[in-house]
Structure 1
């Protein structure tokens, strides 16, 4: 495994009338011949010999890359960057673009399915441990990112302190979104990539509950993503339509948070409760957030998501 430090930046984030300086750095970590883009933010630059900060790794879903999911900058918007939110609160925050997404390379093999994404994490996490000096990290994943995070945690439980999941799908039973998506399964199964554009992003946010997010959000995603990609991999779509269940809750030993948005069409609540009851840990939370659809960090009431994840991460062990 090798890496290249590409750039270091300092961002200014305006928070409640004050200016907060957010430090960031970009890296590349290799998984075989795939160059995975890794992005990091924290309140200040690391200093040799300082105490470690709690580490939070954010895992993206099927359509938008890691940086543009978790560090989205929306003109006129506030608190859309999950990375800034947690960096300001003392976390060392990381994300990765999975193979074929964003700034990461594309091998041309396979379709970057959920298991491949878990392998991406298995390449990136040792690098994060090396750079930060911690022995365990917190992981949060949304949608297919939740599945990637589950599979990684099952395989490497010794490296995960806490696991947060949102927009998770377990068996897929009762999912109206997946029922509609299966109509295009033959197309997704025969092509490793699918087209994305502004209209697709707008459809993502109007699918479950129109009005649960601002119209500026898909426009901001398009402005950030489309200079990088016009297509994204189909693997996670195929997995969620044809290969569920993928996660084995019985194999996840760490404290776990399951978040469901009130209007999320990916997973029915009984399906998630089935997953939740199978988790062996007694340190677990199931949270339903009213007013939220599939993308909790990008909705009008995203402050509810911030509250739920922050309180889970800082709860006593």
Structure 2
């Protein structure tokens, strides 16, 4: 076999080959500075949390709702409705901004994770109507939840809501879920009480029951807000969080309705766990004095849906989202709300 002859390419041919289209490197296109800046601004805007105010009616009563989400609400993973407690409106509880304390707003935190988040001021609180002559009991608060949920579902789609309530807000949310189970996908009850048996907080509060029954509203001030954090375990919340919380509460209200206090002192239980059929989590702070552990465990045992959880939260007293361990509370709630439904039920 004849040996192959090596062909040498001279310098001129090599240069010519380098100039062919296959051998040339395409230079990187430079994006004009103004277009690059616009692209970054658009990306930042698309990831920004946007707040929107809404109003709805419960009969003749106007209720204020606040919504926060990122991007289009139509693409949200789920819709969360937050329900506040006895002594403050909704935005101080769920959309608080504390300098130097990242993610103080639970609404922002969930919105950044793809949820459409809502809160509502109960009648007699915050920006909602305060003109009627009543003390806004828990049953009425459940009506407010229903009015809010009806409005949200009409606006954002007829899907079950993820509902969170704290303290008397947990009782409002539980009673709403008991009455309208088809409107609730998952229910979170934080710092709640069932019968009141063994509650040190309610034992002290009952000493003023006649005073609460005598009037529809009770005064609140910053000193009262501080007392919420001092009654169970001082030190569980940072001073800056307490101070900002107190400022936000008293900017909206100098008095609040007495109805939830009267109910919790004299009319418990106001909900029936055997009638709450939706998936439910009971969230119990380590030092929360509003209810005994035994009271809550008795409630939990009677919940009929096997998709249920009871969680002890270490280092937490009563106002979970304002505590030093608030991000742990977020994690617990997010885990429950994002849990997939069981594919097998036996």
TM-score (norm 2): 0.83
- The question of whether the paired residues in 2 share the 8 Å contact of 1:212 and 1:293 is answered with yes
| Aligned counterpart in structure 1 of residue 61 of structure 2, from 34, 37, 42 | 34
Indicate whether 1:44 and 2:67 are aligned.
Answer: no
**C-alpha deviation, 1:229, in angstroms:** 1.5
Q: Counterpart in 1 of 2:182?
A: 158
Residue of structure 2 in register with 1:291 after alignment = 315
1:21-100 mapped onto 2 (5 Å cutoff): 21-46=48-73, 50-100=74-124
- Residue 76 of structure 1 and its aligned partner are, at CA, apart by 2.0
SS at match of 1:273: helix
Q: CA separation of 1:198/1:52 partners in 2, compared to 1, >3 Å: closer, same or farther?
A: closer
Deviations 1:30-78 (A, max 9, x none): 11221111000001244xxx54530000000001111110001112222
Check the 8 A contact 1:23/1:45 in 2, yes or no. Answer: no
CA gap 1:87/1:243 in 2 versus in 1, 3 angstroms: same
Matched length = 296
- Residue 117 in structure 1 maps to residue 144 in structure 2: no
Cα distance, 1:227 vs. partner? Answer: 2.5
TM-score normalized with structure 1 length: 0.91
The aligned residue for residue 182 of structure 1 is: 206
Q: CA RMSD in A?
A: 1.3
- Which segment drifts farther, 68-77 or 173-182? 68-77
> Is 1:62–1:145's contact at 8 Å kept on the other side of the alignment?
yes
The aligned residue for residue 170 of structure 1 is 194
Normalized per residue, the structure richer in strand is: 1
Segments ≥4 residues shifted beyond 6 Å: none
| 3-state SS in 2 of match to 1:84 | helix
**What whole-Å deviation, never above 9, does each CA across 1:124-171 have from its counterpart, x for those lacking one?**
111100111142111000000000001100110011100001101000
Q: Does the 8 Å CA contact 1:198/1:218 hold for their aligned counterparts? A: no
CA distance in 1, matches of 2:98, 2:75: 33
